[in-house]
Amino acid sequence: MLRAIIFDFNGVIADDETPHVRCFSQALKEFGLSLSPEEYYGTYLGMDERTCTALLLTARDGHSDETVVREIQARKAELFRQHITGHKPPLFSGLVEFVKAAKPRYRLAIASGGRREQIDLALRETPIQDDFEVIVSADDCPVGKPDPAIYRMTLGRMNALVPQDSLVAPQECLVIEDSLAGIRSAHAACMFVLGLATTYPVDHLHEADLVLPSLAGVNPEDLLMRLSERLG
């Protein structure tokens, strides 16, 4: 029985992958690094910016300088902050309805490779800003996806809020992801995964337990029934 739903953020809740890529690419360029949209979507999507930056620096210099990584992250955050001031990212169609329908029965959380400031800005003054009991971001977890650390940390923080006899097991969690790195992260944490083809085509997400084009018109109970049928 599933008791909790954990959402990735960028590409699942907020439709903001494009401006994130643009701001990240600009920050990298200012430090002499390059990242094309094709490279991002083909290789790095689902990784947090820290991991991606470290890989790019290592490829160029043979090692990753943590000071430079932090400087690039700070510059990207500044650029995105400037962007979001006048361009609040929209939430995906059907997302609000899905969260509101799930809230009474399931514990809800966010586990994102994005920065907490960016998540808070995107959720602020939306109908779902208070519906997630736990939000874990790249600021909290030192290791990015596809490592399972962020999903294990999210579940640990959720369980810290309840008595011992109400703990949620990993096998009682459904993760909603839009990238292969995220799917692998959740599976490595022993959780079930719904893949949303909001960023990649359906066939790219074949490792998920179930793949849908979006959450538009999706009822949580119907979804979990479909998932149960697929898993046998």
Report the 10 Å Cβ neighbour count for 76: 22
The H-assigned helical ranges of 65-209 are 66-86, 95-102, 116-123, 149-159, 180-188
Q: In angstroms, rounded to a whole number, what is the distance separating the alpha carbons of residues 22 and 168?
A: 38
- The whole-model pTM stands at 0.83
Taking Cα atoms as reference points, which of 190, 231, 191, 189 lies closest to residue 210? Answer: 231
Average pLDDT estimate for 164-190: 96
In DSSP notation, 56-84 reads: HHHHHHSS--HHHHHHHHHHHHHHHHHHH
Average pLDDT estimate for 143-165: 95
Take residue 38 and report the two structure tokens written for it: 């094709």
Q: What is the pLDDT of residues 106-135, one digit of tens each?
A: 999 999 988 898 899 889 999 999 999 999
Q: In angstroms, rounded to a whole number, what is the distance separating the alpha carbons of residues 11 and 88?
A: 14
Cα–Cα distances (Å) from 45 to 11, 37, 48, 187, 211, in that order, read: 10, 10, 8, 17, 18
Report the 10 Å Cβ neighbour count for 134: 21
Take residue 23 and report the two structure tokens written for it: 């701001």
Is residue 153 pLDDT above 90, yes or no? yes
Residue 192 β-bridge partners: 174
The residues near 144 (Cβ < 8 Å, ≥ 6 apart) are 47, 48, 50, 51, 113, 138, 150
Q: What is the pLDDT of residues 61-92, one digit of tens each?
A: 999 999 999 999 899 889 988 887 777 889 99
Is residue 218 pLDDT above 90, yes or no? yes
The residues near 184 (Cβ < 8 Å, ≥ 6 apart) are 145, 146, 207
- All structural domains of the chain, each given as residue ranges with its CATH number in brackets, are 4-16+89-231 (3.40.50.1000), 17-86 (1.10.150.240)
Q: What is the pLDDT of residues 11-24, one digit of tens each?
A: 999 988 788 888 99
